[in-house]
Amino acid sequence: METPMVYELRRPKNVVPGKKYPALFVMHGIGSNEHNMLSLVNGLEEFFYIFSVRGHLSQGPGFAYFTIQSYGKPHREIFDNGIDKLTHFIDYASETYPLDSNYLYLLGFSQGAIVSMTLALTLSNKIKGVVALSGYIPLFVKEEYNINPGKNLSVFISHGEFDQVLPFEWGKENVEYFTKLAIPVTFHTYPEGHSVTEKNLQDLQTWLLNEVQR
């Protein structure tokens, strides 16, 4: 099966033949790339197969998973295509590598958080957990997508209180939306802008390790 997207792979140093491993799919922000996210997951490769996935669209000096029609509103057709490509990539990775299908996680920042939350809401039991850093859920996803989260899904959401790119209120709306769906949410806020602080990094890694070791 041919890979549908460009990606960077990190895996345990000593892979045990026949063993299945949890997987972490990492998605970057707009104009960034698959390499810039690896600092957020440094050290986690001892517990996960990590796939840092490049957006398929060129965007400035980097890449994107979709384009923006207006503030907080992606171009629907391009967004749908990006979600479809990421879905196929998750299937590709699951068929190609020794992954435990019960422990697939998503992590995204900004645009990467947007697609991560959308995938978690629509891929049913394929996704065990999602880390969404400074993102939002598009209105058309909530209103028109087939919302079908897995029964064992849990979510980590963080947002900067002074985010100048995606308002802090949007982070709180994410929490409210998942909570209404009876999905467990861990919510962390930080007195920062549109960024990932050292404390945020520690918190998300702790959450992921607790999740995968439960």
Contact 86, 115 (CB under 8 A): yes
- Greatest extent of the chain over all pairs of C-alpha atoms, in Å: 49
Give which of 161, 158, 151 is closest to 208, Cα–Cα.
158
- At 48, list the tokens: 């996960």
Residues annotated catalytic, as ranges: 110, 163, 194
Q: What is the C-alpha separation between 192 and 47, in angstroms, rounded?
A: 29
Q: What is d(CA 54, CA 33) in angstroms, rounded to the nearest whole number?
A: 6
